[in-house]
Structure 1
Amino acid sequence: MATGHTDPQRRDRIIAATLDLIAEEGLAGVSHRKIAARAGVPLGSMTYHFSGIDQLLREAFGRFTDHIVAVFDAYLSTPTDRDQARTAVAELVHALSEGPQRDLVLTQELYTLAARQPDYRELTHEWMRRSRTHLEQHFDPDTARQLDALIEGLTLHRALAREPHDRALTLEAIARITATEKRAP
């Protein structure tokens, strides 16, 4: 294995291994030793690249939230009218709920961490702000806030339901929230 100076991907492998470990074992299963083994790096390189587990978790969850915001962007950057935007939001809900179980688990692990440790709430606040920015391309800020919460709730319900609701119900919920939307001047 190359040294830290000649292995520019080492830091990225550590972050990726951290997210994989959290997804598989939860935050309680995370340790420097387990992450180093999973990343295939010497244990000493953990402290070379990160000041501690807190910095590593912040960066790992930051990378994860970047990934989810990119998913929002993929769905919400192309609609040209409100009906297309409503359909795009429904498609986003279904993509997130039918997507990798890993993303669902990481989302819940981050929410739990933020609920217990206020310092991590900044990550979730920034994530929500960035998500709403995508929604605000098509809806007023209050409606975007409601849609953001709806997306998260419907995604979780669909992902965990024995018989997930269909797109028609998702579209109906979106239509109800956006029906009384304030019009921009």
Structure 2
Amino acid sequence: MSTKRGANDPERRNRIIDAALEVIVEEGVHQTTHRRIAARAGVPLGSLTYYFESLSEILEEAFVHLSGRMAAEYSAALVAARTRDEACEAVVDLICGGSYADEGGVRALFEMYSYGNYNTRVHDLCRDWLFASRHSLGRHFSEPTARALDALIEGWPMHQAWERAAVDRSLVRAVVGAIVERLEGREATA
């Protein structure tokens, strides 16, 4: 079965967005160019200007795609939890790895947050991502606890990326438990 990649390729726009995100993760936003994206996507350079008005628009769409995918993973982990203990374990899983907090995902988030300082659309996307994360946590936790856990979920993988050390899952579990117990009450983690 062959993939249609000619002028009428309906997936070309999506391939460009996926390629842009790959280049962002490997090279950083500051090194992402039309040429690098086109080469990665396997499309003519002119295709980028056909689908997008500017490099900024491509970067924005790449971050929209990233935040949508990560928000879905984040939400799915918490929707699957039926009890508060399962929700705590889901938080530990989000922090300790898997597809959500893998090295590429964390690098992509670094780039999105940084670019959001200079691009209004991505800034708003980062803010919306923050609210979506808290909403997902709000299924099981009060607003103050959701805020604290969200900061932990975002921050711990970033520390791990800089330290390049394995996450101590038992320490993460203890910290999550302490936050929930302190903010939700002792019966919350029983």
TM-score (norm 1): 0.89
Q: 2:93 aligns with which of 91, 94, 114?
A: 91
Residue 92 (structure 1) shift: 1.3
Equivalent residue number for residue 104 of structure 2: 102
TM-score (norm 2): 0.87
Aligned pairs (5 A) from 1:1-185? 1-3=5-7, 6-95=8-97, 100-182=102-184
Unaligned runs of 5+ in 2: 186-190
Count matched residues.
181
Letter in 2 for 1:17: A
Contact 1:111 1:124 in 2 (8 A): yes
Residue by residue over 1:3-29, the C-alpha shift from the partner in whole angstroms, topping out at 9 and shown as x without a partner, is 1xx200000010011001111111111
Q: Which runs of 4+ in 1 moved over 6 A?
A: none
Unaligned runs of 5+ in 1: none
Contact 2:34 2:55 in 1 (8 A): yes
* Inter-partner Cα distance in structure 1 for 2:77 and 2:121: 30
Residue 179 of structure 1 aligns to a residue whose secondary structure is: helix
Residue 156 (structure 1) shift: 1.5
Letter in 1 for 2:149: L
Moved more, 95-104 or 135-144: 95-104
Contact 1:97 1:158 in 2 (8 A): no
Distance 1:88 1:28, change over 3 A: same
Residue 180 of structure 1 aligns to a residue whose secondary structure is: helix
Contact 2:92 2:169 in 1 (8 A): yes
Contact 1:14 1:35 in 2 (8 A): yes
Residue by residue over 1:17-66, the C-alpha shift from the partner in whole angstroms, topping out at 9 and shown as x without a partner, is 10011111111111112211221112221111111111111110010011
Distance 1:26 1:162, change over 3 A: closer
Residue 68 (structure 1) shift: 1.0
Distance 1:18 1:159, change over 3 A: same
Residue 117 of structure 2 aligns to a residue whose secondary structure is: helix
Residue 74 (structure 1) shift: 3.0
Distance 1:98 1:57, change over 3 A: closer
